[in-house]
Amino acid sequence: MKTESASRLEWMLGVAFLAAALCGCSSTSDRADAAIQPPPGGLLLRGAGATFPSLLYKKWIAEYQTAHPDVAIAYDAVGSGEGVRRFIGNGVKEEDRVDFGASDAAMTDEQMAQVSKGALLVPATAGSVVLAYNLPDFKGELKLSRDALAGIFLGRIKSWNDPAIAAANRGATLPRLTIVTVARQDASGTTFAFTKHLDATSPEWSSRYGAATLIDWPGNTMRAAGNENVAGLIQHSEGSIGYVGYEFARHLGLQIAWPQNKAGNFVRPGDRTGMAALDTAELPPNLRLFIADPAGPDAYPIVTFSWILLYKNYDNPRKAAAIRALFNWCLTDGQKFASDLGYVPLSSNVSSKAMAAVGQAGPSD
């Protein structure tokens, strides 16, 4: 008979092979867009970056190309960090150069200063980062206090029946099972949004890690590249919990926890609670806003905008016009697709400021 430790080792090895398979498959899908060719006499627009909004971007691209067959659009969902790198362009291979980038962590002033063509930040959509978990025998909704959430990802809370978790789930039977966290291994805007929240709510997290796109995760952590692969790893790993875009967790039917917000309420992610978190958002002139711990009794506590990165100056005047037309459509007609896919549509106040930024993208003098 196998010992518990031997069985656990076999399980962890199996999950490691699964993680490798999941991470390995991303490069194939990423490069599939490289085969897209423009129609005769048409244009090819190439973008790369965040995986968080990629389901919505895929829908936008399909709808826009149907209505505008003279424009082909390729988008590589390679993560926010890689999207920013390709957008900046220094040392980037020709086949990886882009006409627009995408990131859930808005570029810093230092990064924008490196862009020789000038850079514009355009909030394009918003969404919730959720805590998806895999506890097949747990019934009901798992509630996570702020202390429990930070403790899990700090590696301080190691078992699902820990008193810190049980305190918010009175009457529920929590398994005596080791917690395995699932996190991003690539530079990620989703990681930035999640750790920005932990930075704002946990002094211990703030002093040790802060907010970043890449974290040296403590404790018993598995890693995968991209939101899709993190969600898949959670789906196949009993006892796991990880942070992922709401739309990916919903797509796979994963169990989703209710985290505690600033008002002390445990909140279910969704359209209404996401909008409640963004209702008080007042974009500054540079359109760079992070809502790390939104106020309001119904506000979902972990939300983020996601930005499109545009050049101020495009070498090709036709391409500049096509970029403006595409993203003006995304910020108007395209917003109607957000809710059905699990994203939060932009308010008219935010979208009008975003469109003004798009209007600054023009041809080089």
Q: Which CATH number do you get for residue 112?
A: 3.40.190.10
Whether residues 113 and 55 share a domain: the answer is yes
Question: Which sign, positive or negative, has the C-alpha torsion 206, 211, 212, 213?
Answer: positive
Whether residues 101 and 186 share a domain: the answer is no
What's the pLDDT band for 33 if we cut at 50, 70, 90? Answer: low
Q: What are phi and psi of 62, to 5 degrees?
A: -60, -45
Any idea which residue has 């962890």 for tokens?
Answer: 12
Measured CA to CA, the distance from residue 296 to residue 70 in angstroms comes to: 46
Whether residues 212 and 91 share a domain: the answer is no
Question: Which sign, positive or negative, has the C-alpha torsion 230, 234, 236, 239?
Answer: positive
Distances (CA, A) of 91 to 86, 169, 171, 250: 9, 51, 57, 38
Any idea which residue has 């082909």 for tokens?
Answer: 72
Q: Are 361 and 319 in contact (CB under 8 A)?
A: no
Whether residues 82 and 156 share a domain: the answer is no
Any domain includes 20: no
Supply the mean pLDDT for the chain: 91
Beta bridge partners of residue 221, listed in sequence order: 181
Q: Tens digits of per-residue pLDDT, 268-301? A: 999 899 999 998 778 999 999 999 999 999 999 9
Any domain includes 76: yes
Q: Tens digits of per-residue pLDDT, 300-318? A: 999 999 999 999 999 999 9
Whether residues 189 and 226 share a domain: the answer is yes
The pLDDT value given to residue 365: 66
The pLDDT value given to residue 124: 98
Whether residues 274 and 339 share a domain: the answer is no
The pLDDT value given to residue 5: 38
* Of 236, 263, 278, the domain-final residue: 278
The pLDDT value given to residue 12: 43
Any domain includes 199: yes
Q: Are 50 and 77 in contact (CB under 8 A)?
A: yes
Any domain includes 44: yes
Any domain includes 288: no
Q: Report, as an integer, the average pLDDT of 323-352.
A: 96
Measured CA to CA, the distance from residue 130 to residue 139 in angstroms comes to: 18
The pLDDT value given to residue 10: 40
Any domain includes 298: no
Furthest-apart CA atoms within the chain: distance in Å = 76
Look up the domain containing 183 and give its range.
128-278
What's the pLDDT band for 41 if we cut at 50, 70, 90? Answer: confident
Whether residues 204 and 119 share a domain: the answer is no
Q: Report, as an integer, the average pLDDT of 232-246.
A: 97
Any domain includes 139: yes
The pLDDT value given to residue 17: 41
Whether residues 153 and 134 share a domain: the answer is yes
Between 172 and 29, the higher pLDDT residue: 172
Whether residues 212 and 343 share a domain: the answer is no
Q: What is the DSSP string of 276-345?
A: HHHTT----TT-----SS--STT--S-EEEEEEEEESEES-HHHHHHHHHHHHHHHTGGGGGTGGGT-BP
The pLDDT value given to residue 268: 97
The pLDDT value given to residue 22: 44
What's the pLDDT band for 39 if we cut at 50, 70, 90? Answer: confident
Any domain includes 78: yes
Is the pLDDT score of 13 beyond 70? no
Residue 117 tokens, joined: 């063509």
Whether residues 352 and 225 share a domain: the answer is no
The pLDDT value given to residue 3: 40
Select from 361, 351, 308 the least CA-distant residue to 80.
Answer: 308
Whether residues 184 and 150 share a domain: the answer is yes
Q: Tens digits of per-residue pLDDT, 95-146? A: 999 999 999 999 999 999 999 999 999 999 999 999 999 999 998 899 999 9
Measured CA to CA, the distance from residue 142 to residue 296 in angstroms comes to: 21
| Domains identified in the chain, total number | 2
Whether residues 47 and 188 share a domain: the answer is no
